[in-house]
Structure 1
Amino acid sequence: MSHAGGHARTCKVTFLPDNRTVTVRSGVTLLEASRRANAALRTRCGGVAGCLMCKVSADAEALLRLNDPTEPERRKLGPQLDEGIRLGCQARVRGDVVVTVPEDPLKAAIRRKLAEQAEEELW
């Protein structure tokens, strides 16, 4: 892509559903971009494709603007790769992308519980 001495391209990365956008250098991982954007992309393994907590989903257009899946991603995700799932610690941006961060399971459970309580209070 770019040769030595040339300026590194910058890419805009948007994280949904929080709609946080950050500009990073081409080649930065989505995990790194999420930290700069203050978007909640969780990880426990330190970015070595060990914990699978940093999954994001991307549409076909966004997938074209990420690096090809790495060997650890292929091993860990398998068929999920075909569904547009990538690991934030392995996926590197090569252009402007929009990715969706799945809701934290604990947050989802709390949100459902609060919604149930709110419904009960209506009656």
Structure 2
Amino acid sequence: MPKVTFLPDNRSAEVRPGTTVLEASRRARVNVRTRCGGLAACLMCKVQVPPGQEAALQAPGTAESRKIGDLLQEGIRLSCQARVRGDVTVIVPEDPLRAAIRKQLEEQQRERDELW
């Protein structure tokens, strides 16, 4: 069975071929944002596949190609549409809210460091 590894969490799940990356993320207990429940409607579940690993996922279908467009060339895929064929590593982007909070905390820490 193919193994899907999710970065930066470094968690993995073994899944059957044909399983979506979104389903694999749930098995690995990795949070991939989605609102539409996997219908390719919200475009929130984007993940990135490192160069050279594209063949580990099935080729994008018409709906995914139309919605993602040129981002496919950068390795961006919709996790609800990308189906696993072989071992693959997937990079899950940081949640925007979590990124904003992290950035604010880092700024506060930098200001504290400057005071001391």
TM range (shorter): over 0.9
Q: Which amino acid aligns with 2:48?
A: S
Gaps of 5+ in 2: none
**Is 2:49 the partner of 1:58?**
yes
**Is 2:75 the partner of 1:77?**
no
**Is 2:63 the partner of 1:89?**
no
Q: Work out the CA distance in 2 between the residues paired with 1:36 and 1:62.
A: 21
Residue aligned with 1:39, SS: coil
TM-score (structure 2 length as normaliser): 0.95
Q: Which amino acid aligns with 2:32?
A: L
Gaps of 5+ in 1: 1-9
Q: Which segment is superposed worse, 99-108 or 54-63?
A: 54-63
**Is 2:10 the partner of 1:19?**
yes
- Give the Å deviation of 1:120: 1.1
Contact 1:67 1:91 in 2 (8 A): yes
- Partner of 2:110 in structure 1? 119
How many equivalent pairs are there? 114
CA RMSD of superposed structures (Å): 0.7
TM-score (structure 1 length as normaliser): 0.90
List aligned pairs for 1:31-46, cutoff 5 A: 31-46=22-37
Q: Which amino acid aligns with 2:83?
A: R
| Runs of 4+ displaced beyond 3 Å | none
What percent identity do the matched residue pairs reach?
Answer: 61
- Partner of 1:6 in structure 2? none
- Give the Å deviation of 1:43: 0.7
Residue aligned with 2:98, SS: helix
- Give the Å deviation of 1:72: 1.0
Q: Work out the CA distance in 1 between the residues paired with 2:104 and 2:51.
A: 34
